[in-house]
Structure 1
Amino acid sequence: MNPPSRPPFVGRALPRREDRRLLTGRGQFIADLDLPHMLHAVFVRSPVAHARIGSVHLAQALAAPGVVCALTGADLLALLPPVPDTQLSLPSKWTALVQHKFINPQQPLLAHHKVRHVGEAVAVIVAESRYAAEDAAQLVGLDLDPLPPVVDPEAALRPGGPIVHDKFHTNLIGAFTIGKGDIDTALARCPHKLTRRLRHHRYAAAPMECRGVVGLHDARTDSVTIWSATQVVHWVRREAAAVLRLPEARVRCLALDVGGGFGVKGHVYLHDVEVGFDDEGRILALRDRFIVDCGAWNPIGAGVVYNTAVHLTGPYKIDALAIEARIAATNKVPNAPYRGAGRPEAAFAMERIVDLVAAELGLEPADIRLRNMIRADEMPYRVGIPYRDGEPIVYDGGDYPRALRQALAALGGVADFRERQRLAREKGRYLGLGIGCYVEGTGVGPFESATVRIDPSGKIFVSSGACSQGQGMETIFAQVVADTWSVDPEDVVISLADTAAIAIAFGTIASRSTVTLSAAIHGASERLRAKVFAIAANLLECAASDLELRKNGVGILGVPGAEVSLAEVARAARPGWDHRRPPGVDAGLEETYYYEPPTVTWSYAVHAAVLHVDIELGRVSIDKYAIAHDCGVVVNPMLVEGQIVGGAAQGIGGALLEEFNYDADGQLLAGSLMDYMLPTACDIPRMVLIHQHSPSPLNPLGVKGVGEGGPIAPPAVIANGVCDALRPFGLEFNRLPITPQAIQQAIASATRPR
């Protein structure tokens, strides 16, 4: 929009405007809502992983003090339809290109006939208080006929075992294959080959705020307002309207302050990888067959699993590729995306393989990476397989080798580290260097929308369906709007996550909001600018082509002082007998724009760490951690760093501490924070961040997504670093998490250092 020259707000590390509200206790979360006569719901859950439901006894619960009603799955089945499966739909471009098969075992509101995992809800108690509902839930009797559970995804795919969903006669509920080149011929011609099984485990998102929802029915209008701790208010509205059999216009959904999102759970992946390479370590062919444990239901279809497939090769050139993915149903809690959404699993597999190739040839892992990386002069680079939007994957810019060199330089360099490692080993200390690289598709479609309005005060109001869960969106988009309109961020009001404020929107997932919403804001502003200039030209008695944006207003090019404020333009735009709009210009200053990205932008990063393994205690301590990353144009460096460091902390926790363990009966063994280990400040090192900038050509600001990048590389970094440290023992760690117990057991069974 070419506002006049001045230092832009985009690129400044402005403090988050949300922080004053949140840090002084004036934020509002779901638990803060207390509506008059509000009722409370508590669910009765299955204590076993797999069973047929005989009967659910509600009589005692219904007679308990304060109970208003109690319903079973059978009751709800008679009253309401199931939740629609619109989230599972795949773009027609994708289905035409990828050989696939998917089964959708549609999840009911409450279990009926059969329970499929421990904790599955079978009844709901509604009472006048939370306490009354909790007490009454304890009075519900369940007659369950136990069935043998299946908890291992490989076992689930073998014939003759327990079936999670009887009507399908199989636990294989999804599969696809993608690739390029002739994989069999390429592998046969490779001078060297190796195969490995790698296991990426399942761990928790653990946001500070748990799930929550409050609903209010207005009998006068037969409409419903829903407050939800969600990332996607328009999805919630759509699905709630379908279940309640109401038009979407009579359902309003809004999110208040949301205490973290991150998705829900990580995934279990078993990778069987075969790689072929030459004497110099150049990877010539790669085959990956992996199984994903989706639990009892598959709420997100193929999206996360396909993410793993298309992100597997990362920043490397590999001419022959074959990927076969299978999704298995088991008697566990359903899986859903967790920050990174399939990409950490891909990076773990690929980066371990690169280090294994280096070890096989006796070469430096960093050198192997440099030999295989796509160079900057090869950008834009066509990967040769489609993304999940059906478009060909084309990396849109960057310098991967430079990022690797910068990250290693921040640690002191490889040669210096190897000398320190040698001296440390002589003293019985085991240091390791771990590297993890990734490339991340961000800003996925299909669309995002924004409404931009200028009111008679001169302030600019932006409405969007994006939902902030700590990213600082109010600050980020105020900076974007400030530069777009040549105003101060304080003159911008951002309204997020309210379906009443904007009719159609998508929401905040998949590192997309800064990319897609900034472009939608730009599009709406471009349209609105034409109207602002037309009215301003009428006020200033000049041509619209002679105008420019100035601070808080519009002026005539080359004529100082000849200007009108945005407030004056907005007042002139009002309807009425005495309006000052030119002929043919409608009243009001408001535009809505729907941005449909052509495809995704591609962020990338290299993480590297120096760590120490205590061979007596099995403890891993991270001495130094460096990240060189590129997310295009950085809107707010402070918030970007917060996203990356926070995400990396989650990835470190997942690599070293966190895991959902189940026993053979499908019982969760780490069901509380007494048993489930989360990282603390003592576990997370200070991190050095290096920013690279390769603006994306695919959107007006040149931005790329960054929200999910932080957790992608750390599991690979930690595994590679531990293997490097313990190389004298001849150990490999290809299974996560790498706990102290796992290290102690491996060392105990290994030969002594060579």
Structure 2
Amino acid sequence: MPKDGGIGDSPKRREDVRFLTGTGRYSDDINIYNQVYAYFVRSDVAHGRIAGIDAEAAAAMPGVLRIFTARDFEGVGGIPCGWQITSRDGSVMNEPKHPVLADGKVRHVGDPIAVVVAETLAQARDAAEAVVIDIEDLPAIMDMRAALTPDAPLVHEDMGTNLCYDWGFVEDNRQAVDDAIAHAHHVTTLELRNNRLVANPMEPRVALAEWNAAADEYTLYTTSQNPHVIRLLMGAFVLGIPEHKLRVVAPDVGGGFGSKIFHYAEEAFCTFAAKALRRPVKWVSSRSEAFMSDAHGRDHVTKIELALDENGKFLALRTETLANMGAYLSTFAPSIPTWLHGTLMAGNYTTPLIYVNVKAVFTNTVPVDAYRGAGRPEATYQLERVVDKAAREMGIDPVDLRRRNFITEFPYATPVAVEYDTGDYHATMDKLLALSDHAGFEARAEESRRRGMLRGFGIAHYIEACGIAPSNLVGQLGARAGLYESATVRVNATGSISVMTGSHSHGQGHETTFAQVVGDMIGIDPAQVDIIHGDTARTPMGMGTYGSRSIAVGGSAMVRATEKIIAKAKKIAAHLMEASEHDIELKDGRFTIAGTDRSVAWGDVTLAAYVPHNYPLEEIEPGLEETAFYDPANFTYPSGAYGCEVEVDPQTGKVTVLSFTAADDFGNVINPMIVEGQVHGGLAQGFGQAMMENCAYDADGQLISASYMDYAMPRAADLPMFTVDSTCATPCTHNPLGVKGCGEAGAIGSPPAFVNAVIDALQRGGHDVTHIDMPLTPDRVWEAMQERGVRDA
């Protein structure tokens, strides 16, 4: 049994005390004496040339200090992209310039053109209304296929194409895959869309920057998932500020889901303007502004083909995807449809041959980047939908078809360049079927039929790669940064501990789980462990939080640093007890000589480290503080089986989710309560995508889902209470905690399970519907039923 508050226990989240009592400290809660306010003037057309900017009247309005345009940023670098992809012909991707403010041309609705800085936000907003922008409209290109035609309007004329890259993986497999599909007993083909999404975190983005003239130092407060990366990108590539002169602070952050990973123009602008005006400059995004300035997610169109033999064994898989990049390349955008998607196309299955082709395309839309799951949901959705369709076409039970193809021996090297170290996919499937009462489904379906309703059950099995790693590998794949994590463990004289981590929390519960890890290793109350994060001046260089890497990479760095602490503390304890350090054991906060009852308390050892009256000075230095950088040897591979039961009203197309069961393998679990909450959140976002969320543009590039009046978000009443289980654990073999990551799983496995359930319901009702693109709104479901009719009608 876990110790109270230790690994495996579920203490309440300590950070929730301040969040629930309104005493959290978010970026917008921070105000600096003499600060001024920025308001961005953004393009209201998708594509056009800037013929003129008339800011004379606006500049004369009350409180206005200055109006900035692209002319003020001559000599300033553009917003950088953090990943470079190489096309299958060996050429590097097309990488357009991304100016802080639109220079000569606008490329999407919301593209920033000018910024008014005034004494108050109201004054800045009023003056922004008076700025007259003369834009010569150009044809907007919105459709990815049309964007690749020879006569398509160009988002970036200097590139001569709207193609960012044409990526093939694994290129050596291509001919073999083509041959296998050509000669297979059965081939299932499916064309599908992974709909564009807006992340919509609870807290919109904020940037507040100040410049200290005496020291020539900058401080930026921002809503970021990785403040060190923002400091690196903005300092080195945009504004040319030495890192030791730039401090980036991300205090409490109200959700991110990927959208706060990236370096945005607003951060660079406020930092630049703070020096130009010699006053702190603050910008706060409105919710409407967030819809057209935060990076969007997903937006793929895919054709997938699965070849099977007569027994239902998978022979080969081939996919062709168009991935929307939007108008510019966001920080990690090129990696999402490629290395975070293509490498997961094996899923849980022993498919011997796989070939993935991705064409990334520029359009006149908001840039697209990582959103919860980042490439893994796209891969899982394609795979689990085509597997379900193949099962129907071949007359094989969907559960049985998956079982016939599960990987059962580990480690397993996939044909798409990753190696799964451990897993048990039959166990998670067994757990799912038991918890969901799959055996009783037919009786429930009959009861629905008597009421004139259609009931369906859908299954999806997923695997994801978490804790992006290792640095030397991702460097070869095009990453322009390392993907290690760091931790400094500082033990105070009285035995309490401060842990400084490069990871950053935006809702995951780090302050609780990280303290559990360190407290458990030493055997002290986690309440004695303080977690410090989100400030580049106080924490070692780290890569932040995304990709379910917090505990697997950040937690492992803490383990390594704490191991160093324990090793040194044992030397001190051995000296105090006049024993060999090799005979010293640490348990429950006491150092004991093995085989004896002689011991010394943790606090006595830490005090000796700082008051070294009786201390082995000739062997070790005073003090007790250690730093570790952890660069993982491999990804971690969480997996799971998800089951969704729905009821469809054939009169209206309305889908009601009756139950949802998630059986996950997250390896060792630090805090089961927090893990369950993470899964719940991911499931809600997955259902949002599958049922109702859709970021839509019209043909002219106008964002027609630019507010909550038009962009539907799931509410509690739309979803059932989830059944969540993570007891089918196969610990990760290559990190010290045996953990795998859990933050994105729900958003990865739930969309295909839901869609499979709806298709199952319609098929059982006699409708020959094989696919409906997400979101499965009532009108889409109803229209699909009308188009296909009833088979026996």
| Both proteins in one fold, TM over 0.5 | yes
Higher mean displacement: 686-695 or 475-484: 686-695
Alignment pair present for 1:241 and 2:278: no
Query: Residue type of the partner of 2:435?
Result: A
User: Are the equivalent residues in 2 in contact too, given 1:458–1:552 (CA < 8 A)?
Assistant: no
* Structure 2 counterpart of 1:615: 650
For residues 343-391 of structure 1, what are the alpha-carbon distances to aligned partners after superposition, in whole Å with 9 as ceiling and x for unaligned?
Answer: 111111111111111111122111111111112xx111110222xxxxx
Spell out the pairing of 1:43-82 with structure 2 (5 A cutoff): 43-78=40-75, 80-82=76-78
* Structure 1 counterpart of 2:188: 194
Alignment pair present for 1:570 and 2:606: yes
Identity %: 38
* Structure 2 counterpart of 1:644: 679
User: Are the equivalent residues in 1 in contact too, given 2:345–2:416 (CA < 8 A)?
Assistant: no
Cα distance in structure 1, aligned partners of 2:508 and 2:631: 22
Cα distance in structure 1, aligned partners of 2:526 and 2:367: 42
Spell out the pairing of 1:33-112 with structure 2 (5 A cutoff): 33-78=30-75, 80-85=76-81, 87-89=82-84, 101-112=92-103
Alignment pair present for 1:438 and 2:451: no
User: Are the equivalent residues in 2 in contact too, given 1:535–1:582 (CA < 8 A)?
Assistant: no
* Structure 1 counterpart of 2:562: 525
Cα distance in structure 2, aligned partners of 1:187 and 1:423: 42
Cα distance 1:99–1:641, how it changes in 2: closer, same or farther (>3 A)? farther
1:431 aligns to what SS in structure 2?
strand
Cα distance in structure 2, aligned partners of 1:450 and 1:410: 39
Which residue, 730, 751, 754 being the options, matches 2:789? 751
Query: Residue type of the partner of 1:748?
Result: Q
Which residue, 486, 501, 504 being the options, matches 1:467? 504
User: Are the equivalent residues in 1 in contact too, given 2:380–2:462 (CA < 8 A)?
Assistant: yes
Spell out the pairing of 1:513-592 with structure 2 (5 A cutoff): 513-563=550-600, 565-574=601-610, 578=613, 580-592=615-627
Deviation at 1:254, TM superposition (A): 1.6
Deviation at 1:337, TM superposition (A): 0.7
Cα distance in structure 2, aligned partners of 1:263 and 1:122: 25
Alignment pair present for 1:667 and 2:699: no
Query: Residue type of the partner of 2:372?
Result: R
User: Are the equivalent residues in 2 in contact too, given 1:224–1:251 (CA < 8 A)?
Assistant: yes
Alignment pair present for 1:497 and 2:534: yes
Pairwise CA RMSD of aligned residues? 1.9
User: Are the equivalent residues in 2 in contact too, given 1:267–1:294 (CA < 8 A)?
Assistant: no
User: Are the equivalent residues in 2 in contact too, given 1:464–1:498 (CA < 8 A)?
Assistant: no
Query: Residue type of the partner of 2:80?
Result: P
For residues 582-611 of structure 1, what are the alpha-carbon distances to aligned partners after superposition, in whole Å with 9 as ceiling and x for unaligned?
Answer: 313122211111111011010001111110
User: Are the equivalent residues in 2 in contact too, given 1:452–1:590 (CA < 8 A)?
Assistant: yes
* Structure 2 counterpart of 1:411: 436
Cα distance in structure 2, aligned partners of 1:470 and 1:6: 25
User: Are the equivalent residues in 1 in contact too, given 2:488–2:501 (CA < 8 A)?
Assistant: yes
Which residue, 162, 169, 181 being the options, matches 2:160? 169
Cα distance in structure 1, aligned partners of 2:639 and 2:348: 8
Deviation at 1:715, TM superposition (A): 1.4
User: Are the equivalent residues in 2 in contact too, given 1:195–1:275 (CA < 8 A)?
Assistant: yes
* Structure 2 counterpart of 1:131: 122
Query: Residue type of the partner of 1:719?
Result: V
Cα distance 1:5–1:124, how it changes in 2: closer, same or farther (>3 A)? closer
Cα distance in structure 1, aligned partners of 2:88 and 2:619: 48
Higher mean displacement: 167-176 or 276-285: 276-285
Q: TM-score, normalised by structure 1?
A: 0.94
Deviation at 1:423, TM superposition (A): 5.1
Higher mean displacement: 401-410 or 617-626: 401-410
Cα distance 1:712–1:394, how it changes in 2: closer, same or farther (>3 A)? same
Cα distance in structure 1, aligned partners of 2:231 and 2:676: 33
Query: Residue type of the partner of 2:427?
Result: R
Cα distance in structure 2, aligned partners of 1:667 and 1:320: 42
Deviation at 1:406, TM superposition (A): 1.6
* Structure 1 counterpart of 2:744: 708
For residues 412-455 of structure 1, what are the alpha-carbon distances to aligned partners after superposition, in whole Å with 9 as ceiling and x for unaligned?
Answer: 12x43234324533542100111111101111232101001111
* Structure 1 counterpart of 2:301: 270
* Structure 1 counterpart of 2:358: 325
Cα distance 1:457–1:106, how it changes in 2: closer, same or farther (>3 A)? farther
Deviation at 1:285, TM superposition (A): 1.4
1:368 aligns to what SS in structure 2?
helix
User: Are the equivalent residues in 2 in contact too, given 1:30–1:213 (CA < 8 A)?
Assistant: yes
Higher mean displacement: 580-589 or 520-529: 580-589
For residues 275-302 of structure 1, what are the alpha-carbon distances to aligned partners after superposition, in whole Å with 9 as ceiling and x for unaligned?
Answer: 2112332221111001001110121242
1:582 aligns to what SS in structure 2?
coil
User: Are the equivalent residues in 1 in contact too, given 2:46–2:365 (CA < 8 A)?
Assistant: yes
Cα distance in structure 2, aligned partners of 1:164 and 1:97: 23
Cα distance 1:575–1:217, how it changes in 2: closer, same or farther (>3 A)? farther
Query: Residue type of the partner of 1:127?
Result: A
* Structure 1 counterpart of 2:635: 600
Which residue, 221, 229, 240 being the options, matches 2:223? 229
For residues 248-287 of structure 1, what are the alpha-carbon distances to aligned partners after superposition, in whole Å with 9 as ceiling and x for unaligned?
Answer: 0111112111100002322211111122112332221111
1:384 aligns to what SS in structure 2?
coil
User: Are the equivalent residues in 1 in contact too, given 2:43–2:111 (CA < 8 A)?
Assistant: yes
Cα distance in structure 1, aligned partners of 2:667 and 2:27: 35
Query: Residue type of the partner of 1:440?
Result: E
* Structure 1 counterpart of 2:392: 359
User: Are the equivalent residues in 2 in contact too, given 1:573–1:579 (CA < 8 A)?
Assistant: no
Cα distance in structure 2, aligned partners of 1:58 and 1:96: 44
* Structure 2 counterpart of 1:302: 334
Cα distance in structure 1, aligned partners of 2:42 and 2:87: 41
Higher mean displacement: 186-195 or 662-671: 186-195
User: Are the equivalent residues in 1 in contact too, given 2:333–2:369 (CA < 8 A)?
Assistant: no
Cα distance in structure 2, aligned partners of 1:427 and 1:639: 39
1:433 aligns to what SS in structure 2?
strand
Cα distance in structure 2, aligned partners of 1:520 and 1:303: 25
Deviation at 1:559, TM superposition (A): 3.4
1:721 aligns to what SS in structure 2?
helix
Cα distance in structure 1, aligned partners of 2:687 and 2:206: 28
Alignment pair present for 1:146 and 2:147: no
User: Are the equivalent residues in 2 in contact too, given 1:454–1:566 (CA < 8 A)?
Assistant: no
User: Are the equivalent residues in 2 in contact too, given 1:101–1:176 (CA < 8 A)?
Assistant: no
1:712 aligns to what SS in structure 2?
helix
In structure 1, list runs of 5 or more residues that go unmatched. 387-392
For residues 118-163 of structure 1, what are the alpha-carbon distances to aligned partners after superposition, in whole Å with 9 as ceiling and x for unaligned?
Answer: 0100011111111111111111110111100000111111111100
Cα distance in structure 2, aligned partners of 1:171 and 1:538: 69
Cα distance in structure 1, aligned partners of 2:450 and 2:624: 73
Cα distance in structure 2, aligned partners of 1:469 and 1:511: 12
Aligned length: 734
Query: Residue type of the partner of 2:154?
Result: I
For residues 438-479 of structure 1, what are the alpha-carbon distances to aligned partners after superposition, in whole Å with 9 as ceiling and x for unaligned?
Answer: 101111232101001111121011101211011000000000
* Structure 2 counterpart of 1:316: 349
1:328 aligns to what SS in structure 2?
strand
User: Are the equivalent residues in 1 in contact too, given 2:491–2:497 (CA < 8 A)?
Assistant: yes
Cα distance 1:5–1:738, how it changes in 2: closer, same or farther (>3 A)? closer
Cα distance in structure 2, aligned partners of 1:662 and 1:253: 35
Higher mean displacement: 725-734 or 251-260: 725-734
Deviation at 1:5, TM superposition (A): 10
User: Are the equivalent residues in 2 in contact too, given 1:527–1:591 (CA < 8 A)?
Assistant: yes
